Structures are given as C-alpha cells and as structure tokens.
Amino acid sequence: MSQHPETKAIRIQTAQTGEKEHSTPLFLTSSFTYESAEEMAAAFADDTLDVNIYSRFSNPTVDEFIAKIAALEGAEDGIATGTGMAAVFGTFMTFLSKGDHIISASAVFGSTHTILTKYLPKWGIDYSYFNMNQPEDIEQLIRPNTKMLYVETPSNPGLDIIDLQYVADLCKKSNILFVVDNCFATPAVQQPISFGADLVLHSATKFIDGQGRVLGGVVVGRKELIQPLYLFIRNTGPSLSPFNAWILTKSLETLFIRMEKHADNSLKLAKALQNHPKLTSVKYPFLESHPQYEIAKKQMSNGGGILTFEIKGGIEGGRKFLNGLKLLSVTNNLGDSRTIAAHPASTTHSKLSAEERAAVGITPGLIRISTGLEHIEDILEDIEKALGEV
C-alpha cells in the first residue's frame, strides 16, 4: 500500500519489541551483545553487515530517524550526525580530496563559509563562490577538478532561492556531485532529490526538532554515496545520540502540520509588514515581490517559516528593535515553536567582513524572523511595538 509522506512521518517505526509498546522505543545503549564468538567476529569482519555493534556505528533509534528522513526526501539511505555542521563537514571530507575544487553559493551559513574559506584550503581543497541571483555564472566556474556544488535554498539568512533543476542539469553534464542544504524548507516543503540533487542534508536542530531542544544533523541520498559517508562518520565519531534521535523521530510526526502553520503565519506577517514606514523591504519566498517567487512556487509547497526585513537605521536600528521586543525570543536559533528574531550582521554572520556580508545580502539592518506557532496577532503586535521604538 502506497502511503503519503505525512503518514510515513508518523508510521515508520522500529519493529515492536516483546513489550508491545505503541510509542517508538528508545534504545539508550552504547553497545550490543552477541550469541557467540563467531557472531561477534562476523560483525566486525564486514563493514556493510546489517547488525548493531556500537552506537557510534549504528543504533535502532537513530536508524528509525534516518529511515523517516530518507522516505520524506525520496532517498535510498542516509546517515545521522550529532549536529548540522557535522553533516556539512562530513559530506565535504568524504567526497573532497587534496587537489579538488568545490563550487558553492556565496550565500551560506556562517560556519559553512568558515569551513569553505578557512579549513578546506588548509587541506588543499579550493573553492569558488557564485551569486545565487546569477546562476548563469556557475558554468564558467567549473574546472576539470570540480567535484562538488553546494547550495542552500532558501539561503540563510537572505532567503535567496535557486532553480534546483537548472543546477542539477549543469552538475550532471560535468559529473559534479550536487549537494543541497534543505534546512530552511524541510522535506515537508521541498524535496531537492526530485529535482536532481545527489545528496540532501539538514540541521535537524531547526524545524525538524521544532521546539529548540536537541542538536542533530542528517544526510540522505543514494546508497552508493551514503556508504562512504557512513564509514567517515563511523570512524571519526560525530554520530547522533540515540536520545536526540528519539526526540527528532517523534518530532517528525508533526512536521507537516507544523510547517503549514509556520508558513501561514509567515505569509500573513510578511504581508502585514510590507508597507511599514520603518522598513525599507520585506522578503519572503511566497511574496510576489521576492525576486525568485516563480521558482519558489515551482519547487516549494509553501514559503517556509522564515522571513526577513530591513530596518531603517542600520545596525543601531536593528539593536533598538531587538531590545524593544517583549514576546519574541532573541536568540540565534530558528525553526522553533516560539517566534525568534535575529540580527545576522551582529551574530550568525559577524565573522564575515562587511564586504562579504554585503555580497550575500546581509545588510546592517537586516532582521531574520523565524515565525513560530503563536497566534499571528500576538506576533505582529510585538513586532509593531518594537518597530515603534526604532
């Protein structure tokens, strides 16, 4: 029987144990036992053997979480990590070697930018950036040693969107691995593999958890790509803990209804703020004023839970706005049930130079709102009162 994704997110579950539990069990154990010395020897003899040895290698609760994400993304297999950045770093380290070249959108999360510009060159891996608003520039950046192309769409925090099918076609033509960070959209809103991506990764810390509780990351794709990635994670150690996997797999049961509400609140908020006198602009993927609105409509089922606006008054205006908030949380997380306001220029992207921030659309007065699940009138009232103090 074929099932809708919403059903899979709820019904994919570890096989019921002898206790006949209804809620999915938590296997909070570091290791697993064997019936004989021969069975134990066989477990260590074959890296692909489907048996649990040690929770750094695999764990039934972690496997359940991976299976759900793979099903929702339309992937064959996956690997889970302790954080989203471990998923990014593990992917880079598995598939890039000394002398290789990676092409990346310049609009990427601050820590990803640091890996690309500070650490990869140290190991002899070169990088090139392109502007997501000018995808036609990608082709001229491709070299004989280009092995990977990496994008976030929508990007953090500028909400730039790129045509996944267009990029996938370029990558296939040049035999380049196409990796997409789908954190902002989630598989409830966008499935990059269906547009040609090879690997899709997430910081599960964000919307997948949805309540700001635990850290986690996940990468999914074809089996032949996941196997070497699994071995890298297994041997270097950034594995997802069973407890965090249990939290995350339970969270997936509500992902679809949460993302609908996040998006509904975000669109209402974006429309209400469009002509506010204290703002110079409002950006949200499903606003018709978004530069890539048509692409967003093609590859996303809704606009997601993040919007941005530019406050008049620059960095000082941004600080006054944050200090004027009473209901909204001021934190560097996103994807929470509680609405969060952040000022990227002074926090998540503060390590970038002013020129680098400008190049990826992070202006001094840019505010990123991760719209929560509160009543929209309460969210809007708090934002309007804070804007009144700018």
Question: pLDDT for 308-321, tens place per residue?
Answer: 999 998 888 998 99
Number of domains in the chain: 2
The 8-class DSSP code of residue 88 comes to H
The predicted model gives 49-56 an average pLDDT of 86
Q: Is the same domain home to 15 and 114? A: yes
Q: Is 260 exposed, middle or buried (0-12, 13-18, 19+ CB in 10 A)?
A: middle
Asked whether 229 and 268 are in contact (CB, 8 A), the reply is: no
Q: Are residues 247 and 367 in the same domain?
A: no
* Final residue in a domain of this structure, among 254, 278, 304: 254
Structural tokens at position 124: 């002899």
φ and ψ of 39, to 5 deg = -65, -40
Q: How confident is the model over 237-291, as pLDDT tens digits?
A: 999 999 999 999 999 999 999 999 999 999 999 999 999 999 999 999 999 999 9
Both 176 and 272 in a single domain?
no
Q: Is the peptide bond before 157 cis (omega within 30 degrees of 0)?
A: yes
Q: Is pLDDT above 90 for 5?
A: yes
Distances (CA, A) of 145 to 99, 173, 274, 294: 7, 14, 45, 33
Q: Which of 254, 281, 301 is the last residue of a domain?
A: 254
Q: Please tell me the distance from the alpha carbon of residue 261 to that of residue 68, in angstroms, as a whole number.
A: 21
Q: Is 356 helix (H, G, I), strand (E, B) or coil?
A: helix
Grade residue 49 by pLDDT with cuts at 50, 70 and 90.
low
CA distance 332 to 334: 7
Task: List the single range of 168-182, 220-234, 276-290, 308-322 with lowest mean pLDDT.
Answer: 308-322
Amino acid at 86: A
d(CA 208, CA 239): 17
- Within this chain, do residues 136 and 271 fall inside the same structural domain, yes or no? no
Tell me the residue range of the domain where 278 lies: 255-387
End-to-end CA distance of the chain: 56
Same domain? 273 vs 223? no
**230 and 329 co-located in one domain:** no
Instruction: State whether 44 and 177 are in the same domain.
Output: yes
- Tell me: do 351 and 244 sit in the same domain: no
Average pLDDT score over residue span 98-104: 98
- CATH code for the domain of 222: 3.40.640.10
Residue with the larger pLDDT of the pair 28 and 156: 28
| Same domain flag for 106 and 237 | yes
Per-residue pLDDT, averaged over 135-148, amounts to 98
Residues 290 and 318 in one domain: yes
Instruction: Give the H or E element holding residue 168.
Output: helix 164-173
Q: Is the pLDDT of residue 348 over 70?
A: no
- CATH assignment at residue 338: 3.90.1150.10
The whole-number pLDDT of residue 51 equals 87
Domain final residue pick, 254, 289, 319: 254
Question: Is residue 205 located within the same domain as residue 285?
Answer: no
Distances (CA, A) of 255 to 31, 251, 335: 31, 6, 11
Instruction: Kindly report, residue by residue over 356-384, the tens digit of the pLDDT.
Output: 777 777 898 999 999 999 999 999 999 99
Same domain for 91 and 207, yes or no, is yes
b/e code 105-127 from CB counts within 10 Å (16+ = b) = bbbbbbbbbebbeeebeeeebbb
